[in-house]
């Protein structure tokens, strides 16, 4: 089993590039099913979740070619509409294939999704949205049996701006007769990227980035090419790693506007931030100072995926910082591992209180989820001595060769195989 060995206490300097967004490429890979032709996707990261999505596409009958950062999907040969349980369990976002398969085949069969254990992730909004469009869905023995003889556009009002439900509704609406209007839609940049991909294959979709999205169904489709946006959460992780270890780094190939809530907190903590057109430059001299309460919220609020890495950066800040997690119930699973390194954190329900300590020390720690694992790496970079981080398969779900990117800016980090 692979682990990271991190020798902390080394400041970070140089340039680091951000790869394509995990939370963008996964729904776009699913969307390629809707187009009975060839889709060429550029800037696709080499992640285990991407590999899992490709396995699903190939199981359905697609031909997939992958070379460096480009993936070519030919979906003309799709011959199945089911996804086996072992593939569904490989990632939490696998349910996004439901809307796409329904749009293409008119029926779908799959089990409930797996992935990181962050607490319940209900898919009720996904299912109610698809039912509103005309899908018949039966939940039986842990499986979803879906059929859609004739789907019609309608107005879908989401009770909360769920990213996954918004994406599934957009994909299913592509096959509908007439117009679908999604209100209280998620506003994340990844939603806009999905819209742009659907438009590139011939659909008329507009409004993404705002709270109302309109999809015109039944378009004349054609082969297409699309470049996936860069990953704002990976960029935020690099920024928090520098805040933890100190130094000065230029985080390249990222839209600074997608990071404004993260950079504002880091600025408040004492980091110097300079944003340019396609990069963010961070300079940090320790110690940092505590910040106002950090409340996670749907975009454009503070992202839940950046909560754990930011917490890692604040462990040695002077004063007390408070984190309030409003999205997932179990998003503090990294706390116990950080405390093994000497952190002072108290958790009460959805609130975590971080009291800054003078220093952290290296320890043997274990990643239990994707972003919590990234937080452990950030903390280890700022700690004294060596840390051994196990469970890094979680990290590989969302970070392409994280150890190589960090080593390029001066981190002493190695991937090792063994117990």
Note down the domain range covering 220: 22-227
**Tell me, what CATH number does 294's domain have?**
3.65.10.10
C-alpha 268/C-alpha 192 separation (Å) is: 29
Mean pLDDT of all residues in 46-72 = 97
Is 346 annotated in a binding site? The answer is no
pLDDT in tens, 302-333: 999 999 999 999 999 999 999 999 998 888 99
Domain count, the chain: 2
Do 180 and 42 share a structural domain?
yes
Same domain membership, residue 384 and residue 273: yes
Active site residues: 116
The reply to whether 327 sits in an annotated binding site is: yes
Average pLDDT over residues 121-133: 88
Q: Is the pLDDT of residue 188 over 70?
A: yes
Consult the annotation and say whether 124 binds a ligand. yes
Q: Is the pLDDT of residue 132 over 70?
A: yes
Same domain for 198 and 67:
yes
Give pLDDT tens digits for 339-394: 999 999 999 999 999 999 999 999 999 999 999 999 999 999 999 999 999 999 99
Dump pLDDT digits (tens) for 250-266.
999 999 999 999 999 99
Task: Give residue 58's pLDDT band: very low, low, confident or very high (50, 70, 90).
Answer: very high
Average pLDDT of the chain? 95
Q: Give the list of residues 6+ apart from residue 253 with CB closer than 8 angstroms, or none.
A: 17, 18, 230, 278, 279
At 120 the pLDDT is: 43
Domain boundary among 210, 227, 244: 227
Residue 114's pLDDT is: 53
Tell me what the mean pLDDT of segment 190-198 comes to.
98
| Spatial CB neighbours of 257, under 8 Å, sequence gap ≥ 6 | none
User: 256 and 205 in one domain?
Assistant: no
Question: In the prediction, which pLDDT does 115 show?
Answer: 45
Lowest mean pLDDT among 118-122, 150-154, 236-240, 348-352: 118-122
Nearest 5°: phi and psi at 114? Answer: -115, -145
Final residue in a domain of this structure, among 193, 227, 261: 227
- Strand 136-140 and strand 386-390: the pairing is unpaired
For position 117, what pLDDT does the model report? 46
Q: Is 122 annotated as a binding residue?
A: yes
* pLDDT classification of 89: cutoffs 50, 70, 90: confident
Mean pLDDT of all residues in 9-33: 98
Residues 283 and 404 grouped into a single domain: yes
119 — pLDDT class (breaks 50, 70, 90): very low
Same domain, 9 and 107: no
Tell me, yes or no, whether 212 and 285 share the same domain. no
Tell me what pLDDT residue 123 has: 86
Of 227, 253, 273, the residue that ends a domain is: 227
Residue 300: is the preceding peptide bond cis (ω within 30°)?
Answer: yes
Q: Tokens 């408040």 belong to which residue?
A: 268
Q: Using the 8-state DSSP alphabet, how is residue 93 labeled?
A: G
287 labeled part of a ligand binding site: no
Q: Quick one: pLDDT at residue 116?
A: 46
Q: Is 397 annotated as a binding residue?
A: no
């Amino acid at each position: 089993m692979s682990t990271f060995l991190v020798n902390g206490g080394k400041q970070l300097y140089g340039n680091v590039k951000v790869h394509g967004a995990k939370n963008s490429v996964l729904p776009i890979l699913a969307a390629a099913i809707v187009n009975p032709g060839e889709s060429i996707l550029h800037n696709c990261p080499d992640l285990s979740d991407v590999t899992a999505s490709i396995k699903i596409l190939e199981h359905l009958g697609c031909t997939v070619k992958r070379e460096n950062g480009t993936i070519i999907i030919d979906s003309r040969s799709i011959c199945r509409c089911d996804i086996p349980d072992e593939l569904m369990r490989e990632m939490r976002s696998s349910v996004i294939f439901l809307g796409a398969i329904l749009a293409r085949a008119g029926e779908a069969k799959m089990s409930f999704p797996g992935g990181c254990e962050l607490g319940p992730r209900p898919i009720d909004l996904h299912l109610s949205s698809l039912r509103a469009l005309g899908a018949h869905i039966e939940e039986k023995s842990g499986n979803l049996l879906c059929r859609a003889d004739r789907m019609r556009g309608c107005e879908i009002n989401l009770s909360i701006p769920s990213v996954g439900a918004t994406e599934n509704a957009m994909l299913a609406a592509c096959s509908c007769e007439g117009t679908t209007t999604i209100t209280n839609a998620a506003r994340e940049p990844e939603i806009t990227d999905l819209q742009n991909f659907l438009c590139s294959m011939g659909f008329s979709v507009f409004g993404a980035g705002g709270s109302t999205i309109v999809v015109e169904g039944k378009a004349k489709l054609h082969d297409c090419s699309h470049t996936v946006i860069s990953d704002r959460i990976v960029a935020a992780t690099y920024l928090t790693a520098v805040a933890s270890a100190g130094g000065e780094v230029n985080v390249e190939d990222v839209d600074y506007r997608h990071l404004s809530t993260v950079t504002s907190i880091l600025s408040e903590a004492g980091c110097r931030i300079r944003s340019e057109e396609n990069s963010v430059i961070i300079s940090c001299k320790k110690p940092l100072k505590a910040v106002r309460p950090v409340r996670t919220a749907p975009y454009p609020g503070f992202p839940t995926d950046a909560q754990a890495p930011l917490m890692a950066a604040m462990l040695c800040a002077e004063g007390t910082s408070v984190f309030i997690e409003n999205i997932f119930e179990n998003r503090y699973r990294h706390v116990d591992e950080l405390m093994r390194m000497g952190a002072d954190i108290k958790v009460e329900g959805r609130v975590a209180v971080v009291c800054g300590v003078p220093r952290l020390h290296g320890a043997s720690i274990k990643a239990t989820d994707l972003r919590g694992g990234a937080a452990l790496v950030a903390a280890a970079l700022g700690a004294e001595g060596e840390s051994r981080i196990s469970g890094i398969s979680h990290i590989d779900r969302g970070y392409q060769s994280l150890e190589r990117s960090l080593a390029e800016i001066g981190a002493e980090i190695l991937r090792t195989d063994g117990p």
